């Protein structure tokens, strides 16, 4: 079992943080750290039809607990080392070109090089939710089974080569697009020194939270005011989930706040369907924070119908609530089933991927599949 992603955490002393790092809200940093430390299980085996002669079939399967924020091209050196050293025959291995390798899921779905590993896993989870026999709980703990092909990659569908350099270019492109959607320009990204831009990718490669966020904090909105004091830790885990940032007394900072961006970079993934991308302002027309429920009801009302109005008050019930509405679907963000009242701006500040995007994956509840 590889330990990739479990031994590469580097924790810099607090003294090395910039002023902006030090004043980042406690809750924001906590959720960013939890997102960064998230991993997914992968099981990788070579297509039996392509396994070279004299290979050791007793070791043909490779397991890895991969960081959600990483990419398959960054895992390739360890995958290659395993198969070349332990599985393939030494004489045959010399003729194998790893630049022709590509992946499919066990179900035959092509795996994209430029998607984060966590998104690949979540997208597979929602596709599996269409199967009547698949429950949400079991899907979350099952390794994603990938088939490694050794030749004839479908380059017209993969869009880019499996090299880390090509993946870096795609990653930086995603960051700049997210920057434009948030602020209306890419000045924050293009204004970074080249050393800082390279540092973002190095943080992903080395899985170094501190190095990545030391630069990313300059372009990512904050969910708390930039103040000099350190906020107190939360009284309980429940308060972190149920009390959104907008409820905090200080509110977000005026210039860099997640509630003041032009739009939140969001992509909506449907099981075995298209990817939906649209402008998502952080505030609704009535100047209240836009929630995940608002967003989903606007875009896919058949899966997330709007709740009916509450019945009129009565003597026995002065404050009636709307009747519950059965939801045939659920929303996954970073592998977590999100509450419908989650504010979109908070998602953009706390649970966006390292490329700046909030990826919302829609799964189907078992009773409706």
pTM for the model stands at 0.81
In sequence order, what are the beta bridge partners of 11?
none
pLDDT tens, per residue, the chain with 369 residues = 333 333 334 444 333 434 444 345 788 999 999 999 999 999 999 998 888 877 777 777 899 999 999 999 999 999 988 888 888 877 777 778 888 899 999 999 999 999 999 999 999 999 998 887 655 554 446 899 999 999 888 988 887 888 899 999 999 999 999 999 999 999 999 999 999 999 999 999 999 999 999 999 999 998 854 333 333 444 443 434 444 444 343 443 456 789 999 999 999 999 988 899 999 999 999 999 999 999 999 999 999 998 888 888 888 888 888 888 788 999 999 999 999 999 999 999 999 999 999 999 999 997 654
Q: What range defines the domain where residue 53 resides? A: 36-159
First to last CA, the chain: 34
- Kindly state whether residue 304 falls inside one of the protein's structural domains: no
Rounded Cα–Cα distance for residues 310 and 264 (Å)? 30
Rounded Cα–Cα distance for residues 179 and 195 (Å)? 18
- Kindly state whether residue 337 falls inside one of the protein's structural domains: no
**b (16+ CB within 10 A) / e for 176-208:** bbbbbbbbeebebbeebeeeebebbbebbbebb
CATH of the domain at 95: 3.10.20.620
- Kindly state whether residue 269 falls inside one of the protein's structural domains: no
- Kindly state whether residue 280 falls inside one of the protein's structural domains: no
Q: For residue 181, what are the contacts with CB-CB under 8 A and spacing of at least 6?
A: 262, 263, 264, 265, 279
- Kindly state whether residue 264 falls inside one of the protein's structural domains: no
Rounded Cα–Cα distance for residues 277 and 261 (Å)? 17
- Kindly state whether residue 139 falls inside one of the protein's structural domains: yes
Residue entry with tokens 């924790």: 11
- Kindly state whether residue 364 falls inside one of the protein's structural domains: no
Q: How many angstroms separate the Cα of 68 from the Cα of each of 115, 127, 320, 343?
A: 10, 18, 42, 22
Three-state DSSP class for residue 311: coil
Q: How many structural domains comprise the chain?
A: 1
- Kindly state whether residue 121 falls inside one of the protein's structural domains: yes
């Amino acid at each position: 079992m590889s330990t990739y992603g479990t031994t590469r955490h580097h924790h810099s002393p607090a003294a090395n943080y910039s002023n902006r790092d030090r004043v980042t809200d406690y809750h924001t940093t906590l959720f960013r750290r939890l997102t960064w430390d998230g991993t997914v299980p992968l099981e990788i085996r070579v297509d039996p039809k392509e396994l070279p002669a004299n290979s050791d079939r007793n070791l043909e399967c490779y397991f890895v607990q991969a960081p959600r924020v990483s990419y398959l091209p960054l895992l390739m050196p360890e995958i290659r080392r395993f198969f070349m050293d332990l599985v393939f025959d030494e004489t045959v291995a010399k003729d194998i070109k790893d630049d022709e390798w590509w992946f499919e899921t066990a179900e035959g779905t092509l795996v994209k090089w430029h998607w984060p590993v966590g998104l690949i896993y979540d997208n597979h989870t929602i596709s599996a939710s269409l199967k009547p026999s698949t429950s949400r709980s079991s899907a979350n703990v099952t390794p994603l089974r990938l088939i490694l092909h050794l030749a004839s990659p479908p380059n017209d569908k993969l869009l880019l080569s499996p090299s880390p350099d090509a993946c870096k270019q795609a990653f930086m492109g995603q960051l700049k697009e997210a920057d434009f959607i948030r602020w209306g320009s890419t000045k924050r990204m293009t204004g970074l020194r080249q050393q800082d831009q390279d540092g973002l990718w190095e943080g992903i490669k080395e899985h170094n939270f501190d190095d990545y966020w030391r630069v990313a904090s300059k372009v990512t909105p904050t969910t708390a005011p930039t103040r000099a004091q350190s906020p107190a830790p939360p009284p309980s885990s429940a308060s972190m989930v149920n009390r959104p940032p907008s409820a905090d007394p200080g509110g977000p900072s005026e210039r860099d706040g997640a509630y003041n961006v032009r739009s939140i970079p969001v992509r909506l993934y449907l099981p075995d369907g298209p990817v939906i991308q649209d402008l998502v302002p952080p505030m609704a027309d009535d100047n209240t924070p836009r929630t995940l429920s608002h967003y989903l009801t606007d875009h896919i009302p058949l899966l997330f119908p709007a709740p009916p109005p509450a019945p009129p008050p009565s003597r026995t019930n002065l404050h009636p609530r709307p009747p519950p509405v059965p939801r045939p679907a659920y929303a996954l963000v970073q592998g977590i089933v999100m509450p419908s009242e989650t504010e979109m701006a908070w998602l953009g500040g706390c649970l966006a991927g390292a490329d700046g995007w909030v990826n919302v994956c829609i799964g189907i509840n078992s009773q409706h599949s």
